[in-house]
C-alpha cells in the first residue's frame, strides 16, 4: 500500500520553529512559493502533486534541526532537475550556498545502483559531494526516505533497485557519518523490497517477544527512575528503544537466527544531564543488577570514529531477564542519532559557530587517499567496500588510541594501519596481554601490541592470504612482487 503524504508548508514551519526559534521563516516561505510555482502541474507516480515530495523532504530536514539553507535546498532540490529553473536563478534568488546544495543534490540524482561499474561511479560522486558539503548527503537522505515511503507506486524491478541502492550506498554513508537513526530508517524502509520473504518471517518472529519485552521493561523503567531520583540523578528521560528491523536481521544471521541471543531487542536508554551522571548511573545499575562479563563498553572515554558516544552494559535484571542499558547525555544522544546532521543543528542555534567548516572525518580523508592510490575501478571498489563500508571494529593500542578496522581484520592489518614500517617488519603480536599469531582475527575492544623485527627484510607474500585492508594488501604487494621484465630487457 503506497503511503501518501499531506505535509504542508505550515507543518515545515512548525517543525522548524520547534527546533530553531530564530529561523528565517520569511525566507523559507519564499523558497516554498518559488518551488511551488516551478513544479506547478507536475504529478508523482502516486498521483500526488509533486510539491508533496518537496515538502516531505523539507519537513524531514526540519525534524532533524537542519539550518535554513538546508531546508530551503530541500524545498528546491528538484527544481533544476525537473523544471526549467537554472542554477543561476537559484543563486540570484537564494544565494550561492543554497544553489551549491541544490546542484549537489541534482548531481546525486543521477546515482543509480546498476551493477559494479555504476556502483563505482556512484561512490565517486558521493565522495565528491561529501568533500564539498556534507549537507548534500543529508538532503539526499531526506529525499530518499520519502521516496522509499512511496515506493509501492513503482514497478517491482525499480522498487528493488532503489531499495538496494538505498542500503548499499545511502545507508552505508549515513552510518559512516554517524547518523544512526537515519541509517536505520533507510535500511528498514528498504528491507521489505530487497528481502520480502525474510522481512515477513522476521516481523512474525519478533511480534510476541517484542510485546513481552516491552511489557517487562515498563516495570524496569519505573524502577530505574525511582533509583535515579533516590540518588539525586536528574535524568532527561528513561525509555526503551526497539532495535531497527534490518539491523536485527543481520545480527540474527550471526547467531544462527536464535532470538534468545539478542539482548538489545529493546534496549533501555538512560539520558542524563552530564558525563559525570553517566558514570554514576552506570554504577547504580551495577549496584542493583549483576552485569554480564565482557559486556561493559565505554564509548565515552573511547568514542567510535564516527563520533558515537555512550556507555553500554548488559545485566541480569529482575527474574533473570537479560537487558542492555545505554547511558548517555542528551547531546550525545542527539549526535548518536543524527551524526553530522546534529552538528549543523548545533551550528544553526549558535551564531558563534556559524560559517565554520567542520574538518573532514578521518574516514573521509581515507576515501581521498583511496581515490588517489587506486590504479583501476575494480581496486577502488574493493578498497571502498572493504576499508570504508564494511562493518567496523574498534581496536586499541597499548597507549589507548582507537584504531578503526574492517570486520575480519588481523594483527597484520592493525600493524599497517599504525605505520607502513611497522607492518613491513611485523614479527608477532600480543592481543589482550596474550601472545597470538599475526593472522589472528581481531575483535572490537581488543588491545593489540605489535612486535617489530628490524632485521626482517620485509613482509611475507603469504600474508596476502589473510589480510583484508587495502593498506596492508597494497604495501605487501609493493614490497614482495618483482617487476615484470619486458622482452628487450
Choice among 11, 48, 63, 81 that is catalytic:
81
Q: Give Cβ neighbours of residue 246 (< 8 Å, ≥ 6 apart).
A: 167, 184, 187, 188, 190, 191
The answer to whether residue 82 is catalytic is yes
SS3 of the chain: helix, strand, coil, percent, to 5: 60, 15, 30
Q: What 3 state SS string does 376-419 have?
A: CHHHHHHHHHHHHCCCEEEEECCCCCEEEEECCCEHHHHHHHHC
Residue 232, classed as helix, strand or coil, is: coil
Grid look-up 594488501 returns: 473
| Nearest Cα to Cα of residue 262 among 272, 254, 270 | 254
* Residue pair 33/92 in contact by the 8 Å Cβ criterion: no
The alpha carbon of 7 is separated from its chain's Cα centroid by a whole number of angstroms, namely 26
C-alpha cell, 182:
537515519
Choice among 36, 48, 82, 121 that is catalytic:
82
CB neighbours of residue 25 within 10 Å: 13
Q: How far apart are CA 43 and CA 53, in angstroms?
A: 10
C-alpha cell, 357:
567548516
Element (H, E) at 313: strand 311-316
C-alpha cell, 237:
528521560
Q: How far apart are CA 440 and CA 415, in angstroms?
A: 12
CB neighbours of residue 287 within 10 Å: 9
Strands 235-242 and 266-272: antiparallel
Q: How long is the chain? A: 489
CB neighbours of residue 26 within 10 Å: 7
- Per DSSP, the residues of 75-111 read HHTTHHHHSS--HHHHHHHH-HHHHHHHHHHHHHTT-
Q: How far apart are CA 89 and CA 109, in angstroms?
A: 20
The answer to whether residue 258 is catalytic is no
- Catalytic residue IDs: 81-82
Amino acid at each position: 500500500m503506497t503511503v501518501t503524504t499531506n505535509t504542508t508548508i505550515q507543518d515545515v514551519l512548525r517543525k522548524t520553529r520547534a527546533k530553531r526559534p530564530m529561523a528565517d521563516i520569511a525566507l523559507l516561505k519564499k523558497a516554498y512559493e518559488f518551488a511551488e510555482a516551478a513544479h506547478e502541474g507536475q504529478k508523482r507516480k502516486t498521483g500526488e502533486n509533486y510539491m508533496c515530495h518537496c515538502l516531505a523532504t523539507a519537513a524531514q530536514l526540519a525534524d532533524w534541526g537542519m539550518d535554513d539553507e538546508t531546508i530551503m535546498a530541500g524545498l528546491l532540490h528538484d527544481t533544476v532537475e525537473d523544471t526549467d529553473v537554472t542554477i543561476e536563478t537559484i543563486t540570484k534568488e537564494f544565494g550561492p550556498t543554497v544553489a551549491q546544495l541544490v546542484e549537489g543534490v541534482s548531481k546525486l540524482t543521477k546515482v543509480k545502483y546498476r551493477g559494479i561499474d555504476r556502483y563505482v561511479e556512484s561512490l565517486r560522486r558521493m565522495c565528491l559531494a561529501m568533500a564539498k558539503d556534507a549537507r548534500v548527503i543529508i538532503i539526499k537522505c531526506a529525499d530518499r526516505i520519502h521516496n522509499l515511503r512511496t515506493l509501492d507506486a513503482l514497478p517491482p524491478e525499480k522498487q528493488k533497485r532503489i531499495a538496494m541502492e538505498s542500503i548499499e550506498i545511502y545507508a552505508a554513508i549515513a552510518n559512516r557519518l554517524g547518523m544512526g537513526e537515519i541509517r536505520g530508517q533507510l535500511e528498514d524502509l528498504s528491507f521489505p523490497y530487497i528481502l520480502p520473504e525474510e522481512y515477513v518471517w522476521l516481523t512474525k518472529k519478533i511480534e510476541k517477544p517484542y510485546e513481552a519485552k516491552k511489557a517487562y521493561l515498563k516495570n524496569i523503567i519505573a524502577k530505574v527512575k525511582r533509583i535515579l531520583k533516590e540518588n539525586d540523578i536528574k535524568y532527561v528521560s528513561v525509555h526503551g528503544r526497539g532495535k531497527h528491523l534490518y539491523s536485527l536481521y543481520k545480527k540474527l544471521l550471526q547467531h544462527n537466527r536464535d532470538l534468545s541471543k539478542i539482548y538489545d531487542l529493546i534496549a533501555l536508554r538512560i539520558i542524563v544531564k552530564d558525563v559525570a551522571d553517566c558514570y554514576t548511573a552506570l554504577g547504580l545499575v551495577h549496584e542493583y543488577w549483576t552485569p554480564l562479563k565482557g559486556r561493559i563498553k565505554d564509548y565515552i572515554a573511547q568514542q567510535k570514529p564516527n563520533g558515537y558516544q555512550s556507555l553500554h552494559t548488559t545485566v541480569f535484571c529482575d527474574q533473570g531477564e537479560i537487558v542492555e542499558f545505554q547511558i548517555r547525555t542528551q547531546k550525545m544522544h542527539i549526535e548518536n542519532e543524527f551524526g553530522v546532521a546534529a552538528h549543523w543543528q548545533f551550528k544553526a542555534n549558535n551564531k558563534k559557530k556559524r560559517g565554520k567548516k567542520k574538518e573532514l572525518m578521518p574516514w573521509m580523508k581515507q576515501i581521498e587517499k583511496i581515490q588517489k592510490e587506486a590504479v583501476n575501478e575494480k581496486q577502488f571498489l574493493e578498497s571502498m567496500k572493504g576499508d570504508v563500508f564494511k562493518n567496523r571494529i574498534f581496536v586499541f593500542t597499548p597507549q589507548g588510541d582507537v584504531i578503526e578496522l574492517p570486520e575480519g581484520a588481523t594483527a597484520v592489518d592493525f600493524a599497517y594501519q599504525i605505520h607502513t614500517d611497522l607492518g613491513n617488519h611485523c614479527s608477532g603480536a600480543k592481543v589482550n596481554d596474550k601472545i597470538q599469531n599475526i593472522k589472528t582475527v581481531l575483535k572490537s575492544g581488543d588491545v593489540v601490541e605489535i612486535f617489530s623485527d628490524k632485521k626482517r627484510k620485509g613482509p611475507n607474500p603469504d600474508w596476502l592470504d589473510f589480510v583484508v585492508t587495502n593498506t596492508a594488501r597494497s604495501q605487501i604487494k609493493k614490497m614482495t612482487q618483482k617487476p615484470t621484465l619486458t622482452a628487450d630487457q
